[in-house]
A and B are shown apart, each in its own frame.
Chain A
Amino acid sequence: MPPKRTLARVIEIVWLFPRHLSTYGDVGNIRALTYRCQAREIECRVHIVMPGEALPGASIVLIGGGQDRCQVTVGSGIDRVRERIHAEVENGCVVLGVCAGYQLLGRRYALLDGREVAGLGLLDLETTAGGNRFIGKVVVHPDPALGVGAQIVGFENHSGLTVLGDDPELRPLGTVVRGHGNNGGDGQEGAFKGTVFGTYLHGPVLPNNPELCDWLIRLALRRQGRSEALALLDDSVERAAAAAYLK
């Protein structure tokens, strides 16, 4: 039988610094992306990049959460990939930063002891370490410009206080209706600009929020000039799991 001659759809996922930044089930986001791609016969390849290594070509870059000590340690690794990741984003590469990874998307992270970590500078935001930790369930009403449904749910655990800058293209991911979000003050959670997304909802934010996961996959495919709709999946299990965050 001759092979089917359809153009293969491939998504290259780069997982940045998982030895240092992978604390709260961050691998769940990889599992969700690969599962939901494979369910649509989209091939997924996952590349792991350690500090000091160069960034390979990527459709989606994931940066997970980690402790302050780990964030400081990856500083030079960040410097190594900064230029390249900006070039990739110019080309439509999708980036998702979670928790510490979110902080690293910004300009800088100022620690309590006075040290500073220079971020990737993909988003116009800054983070300062705070004295308190925001810990608990979060429910967000996302920006309607995102086609990600009526709510995003998850769990936050951070002491960093993130404030968004003046970049007119930068917007919060949504409004907090439960939990603390970026800084516990302005009612905002996360940030996005174009194809770059950051959130404090750690670990399995994508399996918990399948519409957000699909939104990222769609953006990644669009980069390849493919705009066909994603096949609908049965998300009843996801919805049942997400309901626990509303209780």
Chain B
Amino acid sequence: MSRHEPLRRVWPWTSTLSSGRNAASAVVDRLLARAGGFAIWQRNADLARLLARVRTLVLVTGTNGKSSTAHLIEQVLARAGQRPIRNRDGANLVGGLSTTLSRALFTSRRPVVLEVDEGSLPLVIPPARPSVFVLTNIFRDQLDRYGEVDAIASRIRQAVDATPDECVIAANADDPVVAHIAMQSSRRVVFFGLDLPDGGAPPSLSADSVLCPQCNAVLAFSRASLSHLGHYRCPCCDFSRPVPAVAANGRTLGGLGGACLEIGGIEVSTPLVGIHGLYNALAAVTAVRILGIPDSLSADALRIARPMPGRSEWIEHRGRRVFLGLVKNPAGFEAMADALASVKRPRHVLFLLNDGAADGRDVSWIWDAEFGLFQGDRIWIGGRRAEVLALRLKYAGLEAATPAMHEHGMAFEVAVAGTPPGEILYALMNYTAMLDLFGCLRKGLLPA
């Protein structure tokens, strides 16, 4: 048993997706829904004016870790007694943002934390005037929406340039593309990064951004943490990883039992899972430090940090412990496989894959993911694209325990039933598959 008791939740829960609203904001939500949040955003110049009344606005963007980072920032600010307002999971597109912001109109003294989808950035900044702009990372993600990784980078670059002069950028030093965007901006930048033990495998051949953003030479990595994140320098020009102001010594990395890290000289044990959890923690600590929150307070919040629903979250179901993990692109898959590497084997694993608009219609990325790491485990597959998972498993030399199942609740129940009581089921899924599974669980499930 780890030092950290994993957070448990027993179904059915009152979903945090819709909880935490007061009556006034519910009224606003309904009004906005009737008028169409998006249309209001575009039409209503008042909204932009009212936005200026939000004293403290923290924006979080990047392909991975937006929700979890925003969630952590919210937890630290709440601990500081600031009653933050955050846009809810899945509401990071423009319509959802405007709903959250309109709620803030009534409460302009409270800080607002918004995660912003890369695609929505040009619509959000301006008019939003963030005090802190957090850049987590840029991995290949939903390329059928954005075309190329460089296109995502270019949107983020434009958004950074459109922030007010006094905005401070919190940027991931370990991501060469993010670091380059931050270095080129005229805003004040606070970098965060992970101090890793020397060595580690170099980024895989399918890692995204291993070319120097300045001169296109192949970057040299002395330490690699996740996909193209790590300690890098260009062998041909002067581009290299900036020294982060907020650095963590990952003492215990990657395990499911949480991590032990050191931030600003303070030892912190956190239940956050995996290397991605560490990066999210660093991003959050950096953002709140810019707002003047002392590290000690962040450390207190990290010690009891709760994950987002479905993001490395533990639940119990029919006497089994179930680990819910969001895996939506090769980098996320790599991080999760790493986090699960040290658990007892054989593992019981359920993969759910959808191709909804919010996932990306193109699921080719699964071919870049190393399913071979699940050799010897008992595997189930489901979701709207379950058949392509079956094919991916086949070419990894694996076979699912049962045929592909489209229905998420059914796949989940079959996997739970196939997991002996007392054992753990690891359920890994992409975004809309997670929403579909939550929907099934909320409805009370199928007969066993």
Contacts and interface: CB of A to CB of B under 8 A. Distances in A.
B206 A22 contact: yes
Interface in A142-171: 155, 157, 159
B299 to A, nearest CB: 39
A136 B365 contact: no
A20 interface: yes
B144 to A, nearest CB: 5
A241 interface: yes
Contacts of B365: 24-25
Nearest to A51: B218
Contact of B140 (A18, A23, A136): A23
A67 B150 contact: yes
A16 to B, nearest CB: 12
Contact of A244 (B211, B368, B385, B394): B385
Contact of B211 (A18, A25, A69, A155): A69
B41 to A, nearest CB: 25
A69 B390 contact: no
B150 A203 contact: no
A14 B390 CA distance: 27
Interface in A1-55: 18-20, 22-28, 31-32, 35, 48, 50
Interface string B375-398: 000000000010110111011110
A243 to B, nearest CB: 7
19 contacts: A19-B218, A23-B143, A23-B149, A25-B366, A25-B367, A26-B367, A27-B205, A27-B206, A27-B367, A35-B397, A50-B218, A67-B149, A73-B211, A133-B147, A137-B361, A203-B364, A207-B367, A237-B394, A243-B387
A27 B368 CA distance: 6
A72 B392 CA distance: 32
B315 interface: no
Interface string B206-232: 100011000010100000000000000
In which size bucket is the chain A interface? 35 or more
A53 to B, nearest CB: 12
Contacts of B391: 207-208, 237-238, 240-241
A136 B145 CA distance: 10
A31 B367 contact: yes
Contact of A155 (B140, B362, B390): B362
Contacts of B206: 18, 22, 25-27
Interface of B: 140, 143-144, 147-150, 205-206, 210-211, 216, 218, 355, 361-362, 364-368, 385, 387-388, 390-392, 394-397, 404
A39 B149 CA distance: 36
A135 interface: yes
A232 B303 CA distance: 57
Contacts of B364: 24-25, 28, 155, 202-204
Contacts of A68: 148, 150
Nearest to A23: B140
A136 B147 contact: no
Given A19-B218, A135-B147, 6 more contacts: A25-B364, A28-B395, A67-B150, A69-B150, A72-B216, A203-B364
B205 A18 contact: yes
Contacts, number: 100
A70 interface: yes
A153 B368 CA distance: 19
A3 B367 CA distance: 36
Interface in A211-244: 237-238, 240-241, 243-244
Contacts of A204: 364, 367
Contact of B205 (A22, A157, A159, A243): A22
B235 to A, nearest CB: 13
Contacts of A25: 206, 364-368
B404 A240 contact: yes
Nearest to A70: B211
Contacts of B355: 244
Contact of B216 (A28, A69, A135, A137): A69
Interface centre among A137, A207, A241, A243 (most CB of B within 10 A): A241
B395 A159 contact: no
Contacts of B143: 23-24, 157
Contacts of B394: 35, 237
Contact of A19 (B205, B387, B396): B205
A145 B140 CA distance: 37
Contact of B144 (A26, A72, A157): A157
Give the top 6 A-B pairs by smallest Cβ distance, nearest first.
A28-B367, A25-B367, A25-B364, A203-B364, A241-B391, A240-B387
B358 to A, nearest CB: 16
A240 to B, nearest CB: 4
Contacts of A22: 205-206, 368
A160 B385 CA distance: 28
Contacts of B148: 23, 67-68
B395 A135 contact: no
Given A27-B206, A70-B211, A241 B390 contact: yes
B11 to A, nearest CB: 30
Nearest to B213: A69
A136 B144 contact: yes
Contacts of B387: 237, 240-241, 243-244
Nearest to B144: A135
B371 to A, nearest CB: 10
Contacts of A31: 367, 395-396
Contacts of A237: 387, 390-391, 394
Contact of B367 (A18, A50, A67, A203): A203
A20 B395 contact: no
Contact of B395 (A32, A50, A157): A32
Interface centre among B206, B210, B391, B394 (most CB of A within 10 A): B391
Given A26-B206, A27-B206, A244 B388 contact: yes
